[in-house]
Amino acid sequence: MTPGNELIADIERLVRCESPSEDLAAVARSAEVVAAVGAARMGAEPERVVIDGRTHLRWRFGDQPRVLVLGHHDTVWPIGTLERLPFEVRDGVLRGPGSFDMKAGLVMAFHAVAALADTAGVTVLITGDEEPGSPTSRELIEDEARRCDAVLVLEAAGPGGALKTARKGVSRYEVRITGRAAHAGLEPEKGVNAALESAHQIVAVAALSRGGTTVTPTTARAGTTVNTVPGSAVFEVDVRTWTQDEQDRVHGAMLALRPHLDGAEVAVTGGPNRPPLQAEASKDLFELACRLSAEPLTSTAVGGASDGNLTAGIGIPTLDGLGAVGGGAHADDEHVIVAELPGRSRLLRDLLGCLLERNQGVRSIRPDQLTVTSDWKHDQRD
């Protein structure tokens, strides 16, 4: 079996084991499949880290961690999606729920690590709760990253295969309104309309958007029956910012919300979920990747967040988007371009090899100070 076919076969195994984040049993089953594929390729069993019922996998090679390879095996797709969107490879395109985001990236990581002459210094961490915001794995991710000089994230590539060198930070809030219920026909004046107060607050929250910062009210509900002045209401807010200062500004403003109607009460919970992954955190690693790549690389900044936000947020150089080239994340047309899989896997191998052979970490050496030998330069004949 050729390397390309082996990549496809391994991706198929992972995709055929559905793993929606909210289904802990499904995530546990998926973890066993991922563990089996990873162990077969990298020659070692992972440690299974179970936190609040969620299964994460960790491989540590050697005694001194140098580079963290980071990914997740949970997906947004409910059990049964495979019946509607089956795994298939046709006309050079691989399809299936979770293939692009990001099970292909996991397989690429396993093959890249397996291709190294010496794996000492590599840590591979595959989590099971990235999609809902890494509630149980955040501390695990940050602890592993602090041990390392660099983090390589196997999330799917951007348009045209672009590496993701910046991501917006994410904050999430719930705004609860307490009013006073009353009969809408007999004595509405005795009520305090929580739906109306919610409308005032939604307008105020949306007005916090500016420049590249988006503050978006999302789900909302109010009241109990059509003939009752709503006594309660709630809405949720999604915030995306390019900078920490903007994330802090919006957070302060959200906590400062005050009622518009006499007798109403406003309570805000939530806050920052992931800090921004700012371009400076990726700059040196992206330049190194460009020097190693056989093909010109491009970069992109995206509004979506990943666990790379967490590692960059604690000051560890982080390069994201090293996974599959394709498109349709979280959509029915999710797909991977098969022809890109071998080359992108080699790029990851070469990045790992170059980072591991250095005497100093990426935090103290610029890419232009590195010697990139032909051994680490992509060879189209591979």
- With contact defined as beta carbons under 8 Å apart, do 149 and 91 qualify? no
Give domain limits for the chain.
3-168+276-369, 169-274
CA distance 241 to 239: 7
* Residue 357 pLDDT grade (very low, low, confident, very high; cuts 50, 70, 90): confident
CA dist., res. 113 & res. 122, Å (int): 8
Paired residues of 167 in beta bridges: 277, 302
Does domain 3-168+276-369 bear CATH number 3.40.630.10?
yes
**Per-residue buried b or exposed e for 270-289, using 16+ beta carbons within 10 Å of the residue's own CB:** bebbbbbbbeebbbbbbebb
221-252 pLDDT, tens per residue? Answer: 999 999 999 999 999 999 999 999 999 999 99
The answer to whether 36 touches 93, Cβ cutoff 8 Å, is no
Determine the Cα–Cα distance for residues 337 and 134; give it in Å rounded to an integer: 28
Question: Tokens standing for 46?
Answer: 């992972």
Gap between the terminal Cα atoms of the chain: 15
Q: How far is CA 243 from CA 153, 201, 236, in A?
A: 20, 24, 22
pLDDT interval class at 374 (50, 70, 90):
very low
Q: Tens digit of pLDDT for each residue in 134-176?
A: 999 999 999 999 999 999 999 999 999 999 999 999 999 999 9
Q: Which CATH class is domain 169-274?
A: alpha beta
pLDDT at 369 over 90: no
DSSP state of 325: -
The CA distances from residue 96 to 174, 207, 368, in Å, are: 34, 39, 40
Sheet containing strand 232-241, strands side by side: 214-222, 232-241, 169-178, 265-274
Segment 248-262 shows an average pLDDT of 98
Beta-strand runs (E) in the chain: 47-51, 54-60, 67-72, 88-90, 93-95, 122-127, 150-153, 163-167, 169-178, 182-183, 214-222, 228-229, 232-241, 265-274, 299-302, 318-319, 326-327, 335-337
The per-residue pLDDT for range 20-62, each reduced to its tens digit, is: 999 999 999 999 999 999 999 999 999 999 999 999 999 999 9
Give yes or no for a contact between 92 and 8, defined as CB atoms under 8 angstroms apart.
no
Which pLDDT score is estimated for 358? 65
What pLDDT, in 10s, does the model give residues 75-90? Answer: 999 999 999 999 999 9
Angle subtended at Cα 67 by Cα 164 and Cα 140, rounded to the nearest 5 degrees? 85
Q: For residue 380, what pLDDT band results from cuts at 50, 70 and 90? A: very low
Question: What is the DSSP-derived secondary structure letter of residue 40?
Answer: H
- Examine domains 3-168+276-369 and 169-274 and report if their fold is the same: no
- What pLDDT is stored for residue 4 in this prediction? 73
CB contact at 8 A, 103 and 323: no
Band of the pLDDT at 1, cuts 50, 70, 90? low
One-letter amino acid identity for 321? G
DSSP state of 245: H
Q: Between residues 363 and 197, which one has the greater pLDDT?
A: 197
As a whole number of Å, the CA-based R_g of the chain is: 23
User: What's the whole-number average pLDDT of the chain?
Assistant: 93
Given a cut of 50, whether residue 339 has pLDDT beyond it is yes
